[in-house]
Amino acid sequence: MITFVPHSIFVSGATGFIATHTIAQLLAAGHRVRGSVRSTRNAEVLAPLRVLPGADDRLDLVEADLLAPDAFAGHLEGCDVVLHMASPYALDVKDPQRDLVDPAVTGTTSLLTACLNTPGIRRVVLTSSMAAVTDEPDGRMLTEADWNTHSALTRNPYYLSKVRAERAAWAFIDTHRPSWDLIAINPFLVIGPSLTRALNTSNKVVADLLNGAYPAILALTWGVVDVRDVADAHVRAMDAPGAAGRYLCLAGTMTAREMVALLRSRGYDGYRLPRLGLDGPVGTALVRLAAYAQAPGIRQYLRTNLGRSLKADNTKIRRDLDIAFRPIEQTVLDAAADLVTWGHVRRNG
């Protein structure tokens, strides 16, 4: 059992999907939090953080630009734990280097430099991604030893940004040998209820299924994890005495067919769920060809993931962080219900 003690924690990217849940858990546990945001003047965006229990007296927000080399200088004083959660997440952007890779890498190195220059930091927890582990599952059981070596600016550039950011973090540790240690959490598809109105990229997978964006059931398999469990993993990683290195963060895997069947069986048949099955060999071949007509990010994702068998081992995170994941079926249903609540999906007619 991990014992939690009060900390002063810095959280970058405080308005993000995972970060808001993490801050909620940190405040509920009695910690003091300082979070970085793009602007402290956008009251609407910051409102979900401001209303969290404990935020009035234990949450401070500061501005930080991920592209500024000294973005976090002076922001970490008094903190003993840093959670680096800020990073752009999009499949299609105009300039992958400028919009994805540069902010991810520069933001990571600038924050670690600030940690190096701030006395009292004892642990940094980095939100990495399964994108740093693989961009083309091949049926092998993935572990923390696996790295994505295939992504490039012209192939799954978001995945490349996560690889380079995490590689930069570990290289920083090797070079500077700081007094604090680094833990990386590598979540797979993070879905679940949102604390904000914004529709994040991960929950959009479920929304697209319900809104008819998928013309058919495709041969896709996702590693699924609940956003509340990902937040819990970050909180636990702060104090877990035996924690070290990387942690694959997922509850299990689910195919698109399984997700559609689950939603249809639990009251969502009135939405625009796909019915045509193109998840067999012939259908997959047809979809691969049709993918050429899609935007570059979607095309690259489909061509590297269609028909691929995804397997991943979560033994290490369950053991070291003493975490029990929610069943993925409940996570999918909670995500769908939340999408309805926020008005992101609507019934036919």
Q: Which amino acid is at 238?
A: M
Taking CA 60 as the corner, what is the angle to CA 239 and CA 114, rounded to the nearest 5 degrees?
65
Q: Any residues with CB less than 8 A from the CB of 44 and at least 6 apart, and which?
A: none
Q: At what angle do helices 43-50 and 17-28 cross, to 10 degrees?
A: 40
The DSSP secondary-structure symbol of 134 reads -
Distance between CA atoms of residues 132 and 300, nearest Å = 16
Tokens of 82: 């840093």
Long-range contacts of 47-52 (CB under 8 A, 24+ apart): 48/15, 48/20, 48/195, 48/196, 49/14, 49/15, 49/20, 49/23, 52/23, 52/24, 52/27, 52/195
Could you list the active site residues? 162
Which phi and psi angles does 38 have, rounded to 5°? -70, -40
The DSSP secondary-structure symbol of 82 reads E
Is 188:250 a contact under the CB 8 Å cutoff? yes
Cite the beta strand spans of the chain per DSSP E.
Answer: 8-12, 32-37, 59-63, 81-84, 123-127, 141-142, 181-187, 189-191, 217-218, 221-226, 245-249, 252-255, 277-278, 311-312
Dihedral, CA of residue 58, residue 321, residue 230 and residue 120, to nearest 10: 40
Tokens of 151: 């992504």
